[in-house]
Amino acid sequence: MQKRGIMSFGAYVPRRRLDRQTIAQANAWASPGLVNAARGARAMCAHDEDSITMAVAAGRAVPFAGAAVASLRFASTTMPFADRLNATLIGEALSLPATIRTADLSGSLRSGVGALLGAIEAGGDELVIAADNRQARPGSPQELRLGDGAAAILVGSRDLIAEYVASRSVSVDFNDHYRSRDARFDYVLEERWARELGQFGIIPPLVSALLEKAGVDATELRHCVFAHFSAQEAQAVAKRCGIAAEAVVADLHGEVGDTGAAHPLLLLTKALQAAAPGELILLLGYGHGAEAILLRATDRIGEARAMTGADAQVDTGVADRNYLRFLSFNGLLQMDWGMRAERDNRTAQSAFFRHRQTVTQAVGGRCTACGTPQFPRSRVCVNPECHATDTQEAEGFADKRATVKSFTEDWLGLSFNPPLMYGNIRFEGGGVAMLEFSDFEPGELHVGAPLELAFRIKDIDEKRGFRRYCWKAIPPRAAVSSTSQETANG
């Protein structure tokens, strides 16, 4: 039987990191106890980010190395659309072929691990992406604990960096938290009850059964991913399973927060980048039961260190100490944007469908007569010395680097993170386009500044519940300084 496992991976964590003391101090008048519990920072989506845009960013970070992706599974508990296949939109933004199978998986924080297990058990090259952008009631402990992020795993049968050994699942309707269809926030139950009956009651028997099935002793495990638990809870679970304390992968709660369905896969990228050939990795997905997957690092595991994992994303964050901005970005504070916001955002679905390759995939053209690239594509070549008609072939621009050619910071134009920034960008290899900028602070843009493209929210039609997406120009993540060096106070 052909071995299955992990071929490559990618991770994404939003650039902004909200300092937890900022949250605690803002709510100290009502919940003074938060101040003592507030340490580190949590990742926060920008005004134009959600679980779909993060999923696209994580998917773009995956080295495909000629893989023929047969399916895309998207796992999230915060999908923007209930009846529009989120995975299909993500697949188009990643320029995956229309022949792939797509599926959305939700309903539990373990959906990401469940999607990964399903991909391993399938045939062919399978892409799994998990992302979450969960909200919490202002002033609650969950507001401190949660974070936003995404991870993508490419599964297949060749060039494996980690091979599948065994798995075990259990389904238990144990509700340590839940969120009804019409609710905005999770309802969280008492921690001790959740720990004693949930974590300690469900996980140790499951892990024991898995290890017995694989013929492995708990002391042989070198990397164990226990997501959604505090560091103390993870160590307590490991102890009950007979697993060494040093095998537990650091939870990233201090730097990023709990990223929901994405968190186990995000931590898996850490484990893979730390593993040595032959070492065993235990991945646990917990929520209304649990999924446990046992992996073994192959001789190619060293290739994982060059991939984009959680640690690389953590290192390129920017500290943010503006709590009101965080509330506004999450729709928890209704700002007065004036008459400029009083407009109808209805999407012309027929026009969008016709132009979705340009809008969703950032596909432009290259003239076959003179070789001039342009975005967007048009019937007539933009080269003034050519002007050939109907000579352009499709060319992708999403992965091209670019620089600022000109820019405007518009404090009168509507933006939910003022000012509205837009301008001309010059692509490497040729081509100029007028695009919106994102992730820049006021005064940070300058002519010649390096850029890359990112898939982001264009606007939201609140009346009809529809979101439009597009490509924007952002600063390259590699060029962003660490959270200790750069601060976005606003």
Residue 484 has pLDDT above 50, yes or no: no
Residue type present at position 75: A
Residue 40 has pLDDT above 50, yes or no: yes
Residue 316 tokens read as 């390129």
Q: What CA–CA distance (Å, rounded) separates 149 from 219? A: 31
Task: With CA atoms as reference, report the closest residue to 232 among 265, 199, 280.
Answer: 199
Task: With CA atoms as reference, report the closest residue to 220 among 146, 297, 330.
Answer: 297
List Cβ neighbours of 248 (8 Å cut-off, separation of 6 or more): 224, 226, 234, 235, 238
Residue 469 tokens read as 């997406």
Residue 368 has pLDDT above 80, yes or no: yes
**Mean pLDDT rounded to a whole number for the chain:** 93
Percent of the chain with pLDDT over 70: 97
- Give domain 5-329's CATH superfamily: Thiolase/Chalcone synthase (3.40.47.10)
Give me the architecture of the 347-361+400-480 domain, per CATH.
Beta Barrel (2.40)
Residue 259 tokens read as 């990223």
| pLDDT tens digits, 118-168 | 999 998 999 999 999 999 999 999 999 999 999 999 999 999 999 999 999
Residue 70 has pLDDT above 50, yes or no: yes
The pLDDT, as a whole number, for residue 66 is 64
The pLDDT, as a whole number, for residue 488 is 53
Q: Is the pTM of this model over 0.85?
A: yes
Peptide bond into 419 cis (omega under 30): yes
Residue 71 tokens read as 């399916």
The pLDDT, as a whole number, for residue 341 is 82
Query: 106 and 75 in contact (C-beta within 8 Å)?
Result: yes
The pLDDT, as a whole number, for residue 131 is 98
| DSSP category for residue 198 | I
Query: 115 and 283 in contact (C-beta within 8 Å)?
Result: no
Q: What CA–CA distance (Å, rounded) separates 427 from 407? A: 15
Mean pLDDT of 218-243: 95
Mean pLDDT of 381-387: 95
The pLDDT, as a whole number, for residue 338 is 84
Residue 482 has pLDDT above 70, yes or no: no
The full set of domain ranges for the chain reads: 5-329, 347-361+400-480, 363-396
